[in-house]
Amino acid sequence: MSGGEAQRIAIARAWLRQSPLLLLDEPTAHLDPLTAADIETTLEELMANRTVIVVTHDPGFASRMDRMIFLTSHGFSTGCETQLEYRFAD
């Protein structure tokens, strides 16, 4: 089973559970760009009306979230994408 297939099965399981909390740990890691885009589109529907905690190194996927917690070696900062871009701009 490929990484994309395994991700899709995990998403299907989460969809069927209908739980109010969804935890996603690197949902698009190790996937080719086309498969990652498909997974992200599917996840957008799945995330509607739920509390979602996403761990990701993908800034594009993170930018789709309403709020972010940005971790660094100096601590963390919270906010939306625009607020964090302003705080961490060079």
Q: What is the reported pLDDT for 89?
A: 61
- Is 29's pLDDT higher than 80? yes
d(CA 36, CA 30): 9
pTM value surpassing 0.85: no
Strands 68-72 and 75-79 turn out to be antiparallel
78 DSSP β-pair partners: 69
21 DSSP β-pair partners: 51
d(CA 82, CA 63): 9
Identity at 68, one-letter amino acid code: M
Q: pLDDT tens, 42-59?
A: 888 888 888 989 898 888
- Is 84's pLDDT higher than 70? no
Beta-carbon contacts of 69 under 8 Å, excluding residues fewer than 6 positions away, are: 76, 77, 78
Q: What is the reported pLDDT for 88?
A: 62
Strands 21-25 and 51-55 turn out to be parallel
List domains and CATH numbers for the chain.
Answer: 3-87 (3.40.50.300)
Give me the half-sphere count of Cα atoms (radius 13 Å) on the Cβ side of residue 28. 21
